Structure 1
Amino acid sequence: MELDVLPIPLTWVLLAVLPVLFYLYAVRPMQALKKLGVSGPTPLPLIGNLHQIMKTGIYNMEAQVDAIATYGNVYGVFNGRVPILTISDPEMMREIFVKQFHKFTNRAPEGMALDVKPQARMLTQLVDEDWKNVRSTITPAFSGGKLKQMTEAMNSCADLLVGNIGKFGEKGESFDTKELTGAFTTDVIARTAFGLDVDSQRNPQDPFVVYSKKAFNFNFLNPLIWLFFLFPSIMKPILEKLNYNFVAKDVTDFFYNILEQIMGMRKNEQNHGRVDFMQLMMDAHRDGEADDDDSQETKVQGTKKPLTKDDIVANSFLFFLAGYETTATAMAFTLYNLALHQDAQDKAREEINQVMDNRELVDYEAVHNMPYLDMCINENLRMYSPAASNARVTGEEVKLKWLTIPKNTLVTIPILGIHHDPKRWPEPSKFIPERFTKEEREKRDPFDWQPFGAGPRNCIGMRLALMELKVGLAKVLMKYRIVTGPDTDIPLKIMKYKQFPTPENGIRLRAELLHPGSD
C-alpha cells in the first residue's frame, strides 16, 4: 500500500521543484544585464542570444553597426547564460585598454577557457603574471633592431611573390590573390621566426601551407561549441579530459612535430648567433633549464620564470598561424582596394619609386619613408579589420562612467562596428586613404581605429606585420599595375561565419607589367 502511494507525492514534488530549478538556471541569469542598466536584444531562457548570434555570424559589419545604432555605445547580449557587455564608447575603451588595464588584463572569464594543448599556453590565453612573463620574454623579437635583420629574408620572399604574379601577368590571367599572399607570408614567417627555408610559393602543396589553411577551417556551427557555451561547467572537464581544442588534431600534431624537431636541432648548437623568434624563446627556456612543470620556480633575468617547452611550442604555433592569416589577408585586401582605386595606386607607386631610387632592398628605413602607402594600408585595415572584435574580462569590480561592471564579466569591443560607424567615419564603405593624414588623425579619437587592439595587450606582432605588408606591396607595385578582371567580385561578398574577412569567391585580380620588355 505504501509503495502504491509513494510515487504520487514524489511526482508532485518533482513537478514543483523542476520549474524552480529551471528558473534559477535558465531564466534568472538573463536578468544580469538589466540589473546593470544595460539594454540589448531580448534573450531566451538558457540559450540567451545564441540564436541571433548564429544568424548574424562572426564577421558581420552591418550587424555590429546596426547594434550600435539601435542600443548605443554600451549594450549587452548573452552567450548562453554568460552575459557579455559590448562597449564602443571611446572614454570607456581608454579606461579598459590603458588607464585601468590592470583590471582588464585577461581575455576570457574563469571557467570559459579550456586548459588543453596547445592553446592553454598561448599568449592569447595566458592570464595575469603568467601572461606578463611570457609577453615580456617574447617582445624583444619584434624590436626595430630585429626587424632590420629580417629585411633581406623579406625581400627575397617578396621577389618570389612578384615572380608568381608575373606568371599570371604574362598570360593575362587572373589569380587568387590570397593564395599568393598566403604563400608569401608563410615563407616570411618560416624564415624570420624559425630559420626554415620553406618555399611554399613554388610549391603550393607544401605541408606548411596545407596545414596552415586547415587550421582556419573553424566550424562555427560545431555542436560541441554550442554545448560548451550552454553548459560550460559540464563540458569544460569533458573537453579537457579529451584534450579537445577545436583545432584539427593532425594540424596540431604537424606543427608540434616540426617545432620539436627545430628545438632538437638547435638544442646543442654552440655560438648559434640566431636572433629569430624561436631562438629568443629557447634561450629563455635554456637559461632556466625549465621543464614542462609549471611549478618550476627557477628565475630568468632575476624576476621571470623560464619558458617551458610547452610555452615555446604553443606560442610558435600561435605566431605562425596568426602571422600567416592576418598579414596575407590584409595584403590581399589592400591590393584589391588599390585595383579599384587606380589614382591611389599611382600615388603609392610614385612614392615607392622615389624612396627606392638607388636602393636595392626595401629596408627598414625605406618603409618608414612611405607615408602614403602606410595610409592605404591603414584605411584597408579599417575597412577589413583582421579581427571582428576584441575581448577583455574584469579581474575585479570596475566603475566606468555610469556603469559598474562585476568581477569576471566579459567585455567585447566591436571593432567592425566602430570602423564602419558613419558618425566616426563618414561614408565608411569608401576607400579614402586621406583619412590617415597626420591632420586627420589628430582630429580623431585614437580608439576609433583598432585593427591591432590597444594598450599593453595589443597585437605583439603589429610592427612585423606592417613591415612585411609594406615590403611585399612595394615590390609588387614597382613592377606591376594591379587591376580588376571580369571575374573580380565588386563589391566583395564576405562570409559571415568565418573568423577573419573571407570573400565567398576569393579576390581575383590581374597584373599588368609596367614596363613591357623589361626583365
Structure 2
Amino acid sequence: MEMSWFHSFPSTTFVLVVIVIVLLYLYSTWTFSTFKNMGVRGPTPWPLIGSMLEYRKGIVVKDLEWTKKYGKVCGIYEGRRPMLLVTDPEMCKQICVKHFSSFKNRNTLPLKSKPMSSRLFQLADDRWKVTRNTLTPSFSGSKMRLMSPLISRCADELIKNMEAHCKEGKTVQCKDLFGSYVVDSIASVGFGMDVSSQSQPEHPFVKHANLTAILSLFNPVFAIVFFFPFLLPLLKYFEIQLLPMKTIDYFSQVVGETIKLRNSDKGASQRVDFLQLMINAHEIYDEYVKSKEDDEDHDEGVNRVEFIKDSTHSSVNLSKGLSEDEMLAQSIVFFIAGYETTNATMSFVCYNLATNPETQEKLQKEIDEVMCNYDDVGYEAVSKMKYLDMVVSETLRMFPPPSRFNRECNQDININGINIPKGMTVSVSPYVIHHDPDNYPDPEKFIPERFSKEQKEKRHPYAWIPFGAGPRNCIGMRFALMELKMGLVRVLQKFTFEPCAETEIPPVLGKGIFLTPPNGIKLSVKLRE
C-alpha cells in the first residue's frame, strides 16, 4: 500500500501543479472580457501583466501608438485591472467637469500607512473637499504676491551660479541648476526654511529631493498593487510606505520643529507660506477635538469657523481643519509634486529657446520692455509678460509634466455612448491630446503663437491640460507657473542659451509617471551683450 502511494506521488504533484496553473490563469485573465463587452477596442492583454509590459517603451510612446491604432477611447489593462484610456478633449471635459460627481475621486494606491494616506491626492469625497478648500487660499493671487519676494531671493543665487558657469565656459546642466533653485523656492515658500542648496548641495533637504525613482511604475509597491492585489492586506498590515521611512522621518522632524518655532514666536506666525496656512488650520482642528470632548453638539460651532480671508468678502469654511498627519502629508506632497515637474519644465523651456533663437530674442525683448516699469521681478511683472506665457504654455503642451491623470467612476454612467461601469478607472493622457494634429497642426514644432488669445479661442478648452482638469486639477498650478516664470525672467535678463555638442536634439524623454528628461538638458550659456 505504501509503495503504491509512493509511485503515485509524482502524478499527484503534477495534477496539483496543473490545477494551480489553471487557477492562476483564470484569476489573471478573469477581467479580460470587460472591454469586449463594452464594445471598446484595445491591445490584447497578457495573463497577469495585462498591457503593462508595453510600458518599457515609455508610457507616452504607448499611449500615442494605442490611440492611433484603436481610437481616442481605448481599453487597456494594468495587470488585471481594466482602465479606459481617454485622449479626446470633449470626453475629458465630460468626465472631469460636467459629470464630476460621478468621477470625483482619483484611483490611488490603497495604502493606509500614515501620514501619506492623508495626502490630498489620495483623499476622497467630503474629506478631500474640506482639505482642498483649506489649502486653496494659499495659492490665491494675493498670497502669490506676498510669496514672490521669497522666490526672488532664491533666484539671486541662481544668477550667481549662472555667472560662474559663463566665466568658466562650462556647459550648463539645466536639471542641476534649476533643480537647486526649485528646492530653495519650495523650502522657503513651503516650509519657511533657508536651505541655500545652490551653495550647500549636501544639505539634507536636497538629499530628499529627487524621488522620481521611487515613483517609477516598476517600484515593488506598484508591482504588488497591479499584479497581486490580493496581497494588499499585507502592505496595510505591515504599514508599507511608498516613500522611504528616512524621508518621511526627515520631513516629520522639519515640520514638527517649524511648528514649535511658529507657536513660540508670534512674529513668525505672520509669515505667509504654505506651512503657516496649515498651522492655522491645525489650530481649528484642535478646537474641534476639544469641543468634541466637551460638547456632544461640537460640530455645530466649529462648522461656522471662518478661515483665511483674502478680502472682507471671501472666506473658507472648515468642518475640522487639518490634523498633524494631514499637515505632514501635504508638506511632503507639496515638495514632491513641485520639485521634479517645475525643474523639468524650466529645462524644457530653455531647450526650446536655445533651439529657436528668434523666439528667445523676441522673449528677451519683451522682458526688457516690461521690466522698464518695475524695480524687481515679481508676481505683477511676470503677469504682464504675454509672450512669456505663450512660450511657457507651448512648452507645457509639448512636454506636459504628468504622463496621465486618472479618475475613478463611482456609479454606472454613459459618456458619449460608452457605458462606464462603477469602479472602473478612467485615465486621461495630456501628452496625446497635446500632440494630436486635430488639436495642434505640426504638433512636434515649437510654435508659441498657438497660445495667442485668438488661437486659444479657436480650440477646445480642454485641448490643453498640463495641470489636469476640473475641480481636482493641480492645486499648486498658479504657484508653479509663478516660480518658473520668475526664475526664467531673471535668467533671460542676463543670459542667452545656445545648443552645444552635448545637447540632445530632440531631448530623450523619461518612461515613468512624470515626463522628465532622464539625461537632463545640457546647453551653452552666454552673457547677453
Same fold (TM over 0.5): yes
Instruction: Tell me, yes or no, if the aligned pair for 2:93 and 2:462 is still in contact at 8 Å.
Output: yes
Q: Distance in 2 between matches of 1:255 and 1:290?
A: 25
For the residue of structure 2 that corresponds to 1:205, the secondary structure is coil
The equivalent residue for 2:308 is none
Matched ranges for 1:151-190 at <5 A: 151-190=148-187
Give yes or no for contact 1:385–1:451 (8 Å, CA) kept in 2: yes
In the TM superposition, what is the alpha-carbon distance from 1:363 to its structure 2 partner?
2.1
Q: Is the 8 A contact 2:401 2:516 kept in 1?
A: no
Q: Which amino acid aligns with 1:43?
A: P
**Equivalent residues of 2:91, 2:416 under 8 A apart:** yes
1:212-361 aligned within 5 A: 212-214=209-211, 216-234=213-231, 236-270=232-266, 272-289=269-286, 299=302, 301=305, 303-361=318-376
Q: Is the CA contact 1:65–1:418 (under 8 Å) kept in the aligned structure 2?
A: no
Q: What is the CA distance between 1:222 and its match in structure 2?
A: 3.6
Partner amino acid for 1:27?
T
Matched residue type, 1:113: P
Structure 1 pair 292–404 and aligned structure 2 pair: CA distance change class (3 A): farther
Amino acid at match of 1:42: T
Q: What per-residue deviation string (whole Å, max 9, x for no partner) do you get for residues 135-175 of structure 1?
A: 00000000111001012112111121111111101122111
The correspondence of residues 62-461 of structure 1 with structure 2, limited to 5 A, is 62-108=61-107, 112-214=109-211, 216-234=213-231, 236-270=232-266, 272-289=269-286, 299=302, 301=305, 303-461=318-476
SS of the residue corresponding to residue 29 of structure 1 reads: coil
Return the offset for 1:264. 2.0
Q: Is the 8 A contact 2:350 2:497 kept in 1?
A: yes
Worse overlay, 427-436 or 19-28 = 19-28
Offset at residue 119 of structure 1 (A): 2.4
TM-score using structure 2 length: 0.90
**Aligned partner letter, 2:235:** L
1:48 paired residue among 50, 73, 79: 50
SS of the equivalent of 1:477 reads helix
Aligned length, in residue pairs: 507
The one-letter code matched in structure 2 to 1:86 is L
Cα distance change of structure 1 residues 224 and 382 upon mapping to structure 2, 3 Å threshold: same
RMSD: 2.6
Output one character per residue of 1:39-80: Cα deviation in whole Å (capped at 9) or x when no partner. 100012232222223x3333x3x3222211101011011111
Contact 1:200 1:209 in 2 (8 A): yes
Measured at CA, do residues 424 and 180 of structure 1 come closer, stay the same or move farther in structure 2, by a change above 3 Å? same
Larger CA deviation: 62-71 vs 329-338: 62-71
Offset, 1:30: 0.7
Measure how far apart 1:420 and its partner are.
1.4
**Secondary structure of 1:180's partner?**
helix
**In 1, distance between residues paired with 2:430 and 2:287?**
39
Does the Cα contact within 8 Å between 2:509 and 2:516 map onto a contact in 1?
A: yes
Question: Deviations along 1:187-232, whole A, 9 cap, x unmatched?
Answer: 1111122211111111222221121114644453344432331221
**Contact 2:51/2:79 (CA < 8 Å) preserved in 1?**
yes
Partner of 1:155, secondary structure, is helix
Partner AA of 1:265 in structure 2? L
In the alignment, the residues of structure 2 paired with residue 303 and residue 120 of structure 1 have an alpha-carbon distance, to the nearest angstrom, of 20
Gaps (5+ residues) in structure 2? Answer: 306-316
Alignment partner of 1:483 is 2:484: no
**Distance in 1 of aligned mates of 2:462 and 2:134:** 27
Residue number among 15, 26, 47 corresponding to 2:28 in the alignment: 26
- Between stretches 498-507 and 433-442, larger displacement belongs to 498-507
- Cα deviation for residue 312 of structure 1 reads 0.2
Amino acid at match of 1:506: G
Task: Provide the C-alpha distance between the structure 2 equivalents of 1:205 and 1:447, rounded to a whole number of angstroms.
Answer: 42
Q: Quick one: structure 1 residues 511 and 12, their matched pair in 2 at CA, closer, same or farther if it must change by over 3 Å?
A: closer
Distance 1:503 1:292, change over 3 A: farther
C-alpha deviation, 1:27, in angstroms: 2.6
1-structure distance, mates of 2:203, 2:486:
23
Contact 1:356–1:362 (CA under 8 A) maintained in structure 2: yes
* 2:528 counterpart residue number: 514
The residue type paired with residue 316 of structure 1 is S
Amino acid at match of 1:209: V
- Separation (CA, whole Å) in 1 of partners of 2:17 and 2:244: 44
Distance, in Å, in 2 between the alignment partners of 1:108 and 1:492 is 31
Letter in 2 for 1:80: G
CA distance in 1, matches of 2:256, 2:249: 10
The 3 A distance-change label for structure 1 pair 360 and 216 is farther
Matches of 1:286 and 1:192, distance apart in 2: 20
Per-residue CA deviations over 1:218-273 (Å, capped at 9, x if unaligned) read: 45334443233122122x11112222223222222211211111122223333521
Q: Deviations over 1:83-114 (max 9, x none)?
A: 000012222111111111111111117xx521
Identity %: 40
Distance across 2 between alignment mates of 1:213 and 1:16: 45
Q: CA deviation at 1:24?
A: 4.6
The residue type equivalent to 1:470 in the other structure is K
Amino acid in structure 1 at the alignment position of 2:94: E
Name the TM-score, length of structure 1 as normaliser. Answer: 0.91
Structure 2 Cα separation of the partners of residues 48 and 487 of structure 1: 38
Aligned equivalents of 2:216, 2:481: Cα separation in 1: 29
- The 1-side partners of 2:241 and 2:91 are apart by 33
Structure 2 counterpart of 1:499? 513
Q: Quote how far apart the aligned CAs of 1:469 are.
A: 1.4
Q: Secondary structure at the match of 2:31?
A: helix
1:466 aligns with 2:481: yes
- Cα shift at 1:17: 6.7
Distance 1:224 1:430 in 2: 38
Q: Deviations over 1:335-362 (max 9, x none)?
A: 1111111111111111111110042211
